[in-house]
Amino acid sequence: MARPGSACPPPARRVMVAARALLFWALVYSYCGVCACIAGLRLLWSIGRRPGETFRWVVRENPPACLNDPSLGTHCYVRIKDSGLRFHYVAAGERGKPLMLLLHGFPEFWYSWRHQLREFKSEYRVVALDLRGYGETDAPPHKENYKLDCLIADIKDILESLGYNKCVLIGHDWGGMIAWLVAICYPEMVTKLIVVNFPHPSVFTEYILRHPSQLIKSGYYFFFQMPWFPEFMFTLNDFKVLKSLFTSQATGIGRKGCRLTAEDIEAYLYVFSQPGALTGPMNHYRTIFSCLPLQHHEVIMPTLLLWGERDAFMEVEMAEITRIYVKNHFRLTILSEASHWLQQDQPDIVNKLIWTFLKEETKRKRE
Name the residues annotated as catalytic.
Answer: 173, 285, 340
276: left (phi over 0), alpha (psi -120 to 50) or beta: left
The alpha carbon of 86 is separated from its chain's Cα centroid by a whole number of angstroms, namely: 19
> What is the chain's length?
367
Sign of CA dihedral 98, 111, 360, 329: negative
Cis, peptide link before residue 227, omega less than 30° from 0: no
- Residue at 22: amino acid letter: L
**Nearest of 58, 89, 88 to residue 243 by alpha carbon:** 58
Report the C-alpha gap between 294 and 301 in whole angstroms.
20
Instruction: Provide the 8-state DSSP code for 299.
Output: B
Angle at 84 between CA 124 and CA 227, to 5 degrees: 100
Report the C-alpha gap between 260 and 246 in whole angstroms.
8
CB 223 within 8 A of CB 32: yes
Report the C-alpha gap between 273 and 214 in whole angstroms.
29
Report the C-alpha gap between 3 and 21 in whole angstroms.
24
Report the C-alpha gap between 242 and 53 in whole angstroms.
16
How are beta strands 167-172 and 190-196 bridged, if at all?
parallel
